[in-house]
Copies of this chain bind each other. A is one copy, B any other.
Amino acid sequence: LKELRQITVIGLGLLGGSISLAAMRSLPQVKVAGYSHRPSTRRKAKKLAPGLKIFNDLKASVVSADLVILATPICTFEAMFKEIADVLPHSCIVTDVGSTKVLPHKWAEKTLPETIFYVGSHPISGSEQRGVEFARDDLFVQSLCIVTKTNKTDKESLQTVATFWSTLGCDVKFMSPKQHDKILASVSHLPHIAAAAMINTENINDLKFAGKGFMDTSRIASGPANIWADIFFTNTANCVACIDKLITELNKFKKAIKSKDKKQIEKLLQQARNKRGAFIEYKLKRKELIT
């Protein structure tokens, strides 16, 4: 494993702030630095995490880093990689927490020199909240982190990044970026699109009569629009395939309801109920339902 003396977190939102806090708690011997281009975010971060070394200059924040973690919207990564490529120290490890992984791998390969080792990360934590003020040092405890690699990924760097997330409390799984983007389109991006599309059908006056079911079903659609736009924008083919699948399933309900086929309606509902039951049971067993 590579020894980490300094970690630099780029972007101090909910995720970047939580990574900073969690690293300072779990790795007290490591210097943790953070960069944000927003003065108000830097002020808030300083208050929240007095031990964090905060930079207003991107290049300056990474010159002594052993591990750099990008926690900004995905579509900023390519420009960030380009900007820091020349100043990163030799054999520095770079990772990111973007919710898609194919393009970040491609951008890293294209823009970072061969002396820099890129590994992809996706900690599956967070919420519909945004901003450093919601950061928590236990955000990653008992949560899942997918670490992505290709056949070009440096093995020591891969293990260093995986160990970093384990230290923060994550259960780490390895995948190829391609597999990651396909699975996440299905279990994360589609639910988000479905929730947003569902709300977009609603008349605002009717929502006065909506109950807790609507509230829960629609919760994720309160997430930041720019972050999610970047996610869908960088996973277009998989998202489109998932939307098509959802439309197919909706048409099964439509057909059953239109033809008043109660047996078939109940069968479709029972299928969903059983699958969700299996999901809940799996997560409960692994105690993964906390964040």
Contact = CB atoms under 8 A, between A and B. Distances in A.
A3 interface: no
A176 interface: no
A269 B124 contact: no
A57 B129 CA distance: 53
A73 B259 CA distance: 20
A173 B244 CA distance: 39
A46 to B, nearest CB: 29
Interface in A34-51: none
Interface stretch (A22-30, A113-121, A195-203): A195-203
Given A207-B282, A212-B291, A216-B220, A197 B269 contact: no
A152 interface: no
Contacts of A192: 213
B257 A236 contact: yes
A226 B279 contact: no
A187 B173 contact: no
B144 A209 contact: yes
B216 A173 contact: no
Contact of A207 (B230, B278, B289): B278
Stoichiometry (number of copies): 2
B240 A258 contact: yes
A213 B124 CA distance: 10
Interface stretch (A90-98, A158-166, A247-255): A247-255
Contacts of A240: 254, 257-258
A271 interface: yes
A173 B247 CA distance: 34
A252 B282 CA distance: 34
Nearest to A243: B254
Given A211-B188, A213-B191, A197 B243 contact: no
A184 interface: yes
Contacts of A190: 198, 201
Contacts of A262: 75, 229-230, 233
26 contacts: A124-B211, A144-B211, A173-B209, A192-B213, A193-B250, A194-B194, A194-B217, A195-B272, A197-B249, A197-B253, A200-B275, A207-B275, A213-B220, A215-B279, A216-B216, A217-B220, A218-B276, A218-B279, A222-B273, A222-B280, A225-B270, A225-B273, A236-B258, A240-B254, A240-B257, A243-B254
Given A194-B195, A214-B279, 12 more contacts: A183-B209, A187-B202, A187-B207, A191-B218, A197-B253, A200-B275, A204-B275, A215-B280, A217-B220, A229-B262, A229-B265, A240-B254
